Amino acid sequence: MIYKEEKLPEKYIKFNNFYSTDYDYLFENKIKRRGLSYYNNGKIENLVYKNNTYSADVIGAKVYKVKLKIENNVLTEISCTCPYHNDTNKYCKHVYALLLAVKMQKERIELIKYINKYKSNISYLIKKMDDIIESNVKLLYSYEVEWFKERELNYKKTIKSFQENEKLKDFELYNILRELNYFFNMLCNDLNELNERIENNKQELEKRRQEEKNHHIDTFTYTTDESQIFDAIDHNLSDIDLKTLYQIKEKLESTNDDTELIDKAIVNRKKKNLIEKEQLKKLRKQEKIESHLSFGEKLFGVLLGLFSNKKNKKAKRMDYLMPWEQEEVNKGNYDSWNFEEEELEDDDYYSEDD
């Protein structure tokens, strides 16, 4: 069985899409930023829905009454008692804050539904991993069992670490959903790898059995050398785990039978266990190196992006300058802001707290 990864809906992939509305084009960017701040700081109170109309109190320098009417997903009426909206007839931050509150009311329900679905699916896959390991333990090396059991334990800890959804803010729910999606996909990959290893080990075991069968036929057909026969038997015994070997030895001793072959098998089994432990150490070391490389690559990408943004901002600041002004800036005689003209924003007349 192949376990498939899942991709989140587009609106949950980019954070900017999450905190936006269908009516963003009606608002200036600075108004949207202020409205988002009002929403995140809990300044919307007494939200009521009646006859396609949403009304609420938005707390600014004063308490402003805001109303929105939405019919068939079309914004048909807007009103706010703030001076910015009344004097300029432009859409204000209080209106945008209410629009966000209306959208996030519905969005929150969908977010919690998604989160609970992932929790349930991850719990099911963890149980599935445990069942696969237990039912195929004889087809896995001890270091493989140890490694997958450790992964399983980490997934269980992850699920327990998440708080109750109702206590969290919207952006916290958004982050939890993305984390759960990441862990779900990792778990799918681990399950696929587990099944692949079991299948490979099964084929390897079958091949070895066939080779041993042919070897036994050759041994008993073409030779009567007892040492070769005992070597063949000893080779098979050393594949049994230590606990079982000691139990066999104990039974042989209780009946006063010879334990020479079992003693040899115990020594060989111990050697194999040491080799498997070394392989597990190398595997973990390699994973640690790869995780460090991955972090380094991400850090390099972030630094490169910051450097590019700085260059773009400088170029953009000089776009409006005359050629002779740009030459003076490049020589270091002036800064670009020396040639800027003062401009007043439309809403500079109004207080920031309005």
List the pLDDT tens digit at each of the 354 positions of the chain: 888 888 887 777 766 667 788 888 889 999 999 999 998 888 999 999 998 899 999 998 899 999 999 888 888 899 999 999 988 888 999 999 999 998 888 888 888 888 888 889 999 999 999 999 998 888 888 888 888 888 888 888 878 777 666 677 787 888 888 888 988 999 999 999 999 988 988 888 888 888 777 765 554 444 444 444 445 455 566 667 777 778 777 777 777 777 777 788 788 888 888 888 888 888 777 766 665 555 555 555 556 555 555 555 555 555 556 666 667 767 766 666 565 554 444 444 444 445
Of 260, 289, 304, the residue that ends a domain is: 304
| 39 in a structural domain | yes
Q: Which two tokens stand for residue 349?
A: 């007349």
Of 304, 319, 338, the residue that ends a domain is: 304
Residues 154 and 290 placed together within one structural domain of the fold: no
Q: Which two tokens stand for residue 335?
A: 């800064």
Residues 228 and 193 placed together within one structural domain of the fold: no
Residues 152 and 88 placed together within one structural domain of the fold: yes
Q: How far is CA 135 from CA 197, 198, 239, in A?
A: 14, 11, 18
Give pLDDT, residue 318: 56
| 90 in a structural domain | yes
Q: Do residues 219 and 232 make contact, with C-beta atoms less than 8 angstroms apart? A: yes
> Which range of residues forms the domain containing residue 235?
224-304
Residues 174 and 297 placed together within one structural domain of the fold: no
Q: How far is CA 269 from CA 94, 147, 167, 245, 253, in A?
A: 74, 20, 54, 9, 19
Residues 142 and 185 placed together within one structural domain of the fold: yes
Residues 147 and 239 placed together within one structural domain of the fold: no
Q: Where are the alpha helices (DSSP H) in the chain?
A: 10-13, 15-18, 29-40, 83-88, 93-135, 142-161, 170-222, 226-237, 242-254, 260-317, 323-331
Cβ neighbours, 10 Å, residue 80: 21
| 108 in a structural domain | yes
| 295 in a structural domain | yes
Residues 164 and 229 placed together within one structural domain of the fold: no
What pTM does this model have?
A: 0.53
| 142 in a structural domain | yes
Q: Which two tokens stand for residue 21?
A: 């509305």
- Rounded Cα distance between 341 and 289, Å, is 54
Give pLDDT, residue 230: 46
Residues 284 and 238 placed together within one structural domain of the fold: yes
Residues 24 and 153 placed together within one structural domain of the fold: yes
Give pLDDT, residue 259: 77
Which strand (E) or helix (H) includes residue 66?
A: strand 63-71
Structural domains counted in the chain: 2
Give pLDDT, residue 79: 92
| 335 in a structural domain | no
Residues 186 and 252 placed together within one structural domain of the fold: no
Residues 170 and 238 placed together within one structural domain of the fold: no
Give pLDDT, residue 11: 72
Residues 157 and 256 placed together within one structural domain of the fold: no
Closest CA to 149 of 133, 173, 167: 133
| 154 in a structural domain | yes
Of 273, 289, 304, the residue that ends a domain is: 304
